[in-house]
Amino acid sequence: MKLYGDLLSPFVRMSMVTALEAGLESRVQLQSAALKPHEVNEALAKLSPLGKIPILETDHGRPLYDSRVIMEYFCHVAGNKALLADDGAKHFRVLTLLALAQGLGDAAVALRYETAARPPTAHWPEYAERLRARIRAALDELEGQWAETLAEVNLGSIATAVALGYLDVRHDALAWRNGRGHLATWYEAFSNRPSMLKTQPKV
Ligand SMILES: N[C@@H](CCC(=O)N[C@@H](CS)C(=O)NCC(=O)O)C(=O)O
């Protein structure tokens, strides 16, 4: 299987971490593909009309996207029921944590585009501030409400660790650890997992 993208993208990295945690390391090859928000990558556009990374090309030659679908697909292929439990209540708790972490990732990527890619003449400070507020709210929720689900390795905890790693790489100034000691301690341990160490992005 080919995973198109770049580990600097939190969505690509969380897909790759899932592949590793599911024991699919030898079956998933990362195909380097980087994007700019204002340009079409023609090769990727042939695989997905959205032209966003990640995209997975399965062994059957079919493209799958987005990251949530890819992460669920890896669990399916590996027959892994630990990363996304079948059991109703737990299943939806993990998916909600995944949505929270992906929402944090979406806001962090959008803030990166606002502050590093958008031309200075087109800056919109109120929108950037709204994104910062959304990131802070998501972090506070993770700090206060999710310890039990974060304590396990599942799709939600993987996405959370990767989103926090992205904040370290792209938004150091947000100092996300301040006032969030539980989350910081949890991240310290999780980021030492082999799946996280092997997927560290090169800036
Ligand atoms: N919902 C998508 C989001 C993917 C996404 O935003 N990818 C970014 C890179 S981090 C991208 O492809 N950006 C290029 C663009 O927006 O044109 C997913 O979970 O895969």
Overall average pLDDT of the 167-180 stretch? 98
Side chain identity, residue 53: I
Q: Is 11 in the pocket of ligand 1 (CB under 6 A)?
A: yes
pLDDT tens figures, 33-46: 988 888 999 999 99
Q: Is 78 in the pocket of ligand 1 (CB under 6 A)?
A: no
Cβ neighbour number for residue 63 with a 10 Å cutoff = 14
Distance CA 30, CA 13 (A): 10
Mean of the per-residue pLDDT values for the chain? 97
User: 42 CA to middle of ligand 1, Å?
Assistant: 15
pLDDT tens figures, 61-106: 999 999 999 999 999 999 999 999 998 999 999 999 999 999 999 9
Model confidence at 51, pLDDT cuts 50, 70, 90, reads very high
DSSP code of 3?
Answer: E
CA dihedral 6→9→10→16, nearest 10 degrees, is -10
Q: Is 181 in the pocket of ligand 1 (CB under 6 A)?
A: no
- Element spanning 187, H or E: helix 181-190
pLDDT tens figures, 135-153: 999 999 999 999 999 999 9
Q: Is 15 in the pocket of ligand 1 (CB under 6 A)?
A: no
- Element spanning 174, H or E: none
Least confident of 121-125, 142-146, 156-160: 121-125
What pLDDT shows up at residue 84? Answer: 98
Tracing tokens 């042939």 back to the chain, one arrives at: 46
What pLDDT shows up at residue 126? Answer: 97
- Which residue ranges form the domains of the chain, and what is each CATH number? 2-78 (3.40.30.10), 88-193 (1.20.1050.10)
Side chain identity, residue 130: R
Order across the sheet with 63-64: list the strands.
29-32, 2-5, 55-57, 63-64
Overall average pLDDT of the 55-66 stretch? 96
End-to-end CA distance of the chain: 25
Distance CA 55, CA 101 (A): 19
User: 105 CA to middle of ligand 1, Å?
Assistant: 10
Q: Is 174 in the pocket of ligand 1 (CB under 6 A)?
A: no
What pLDDT shows up at residue 34? Answer: 81
Q: Which residues contact 163 (CB under 8 A, 6 or more apart)?
A: 10, 14, 101, 102, 104, 105, 108
Q: Which residue from 86, 59, 61 is spatially nearest to 75, judged by alpha carbons? A: 86
DSSP code of 41?
Answer: -
pTM value?
0.98
Overall average pLDDT of the 155-162 stretch? 99
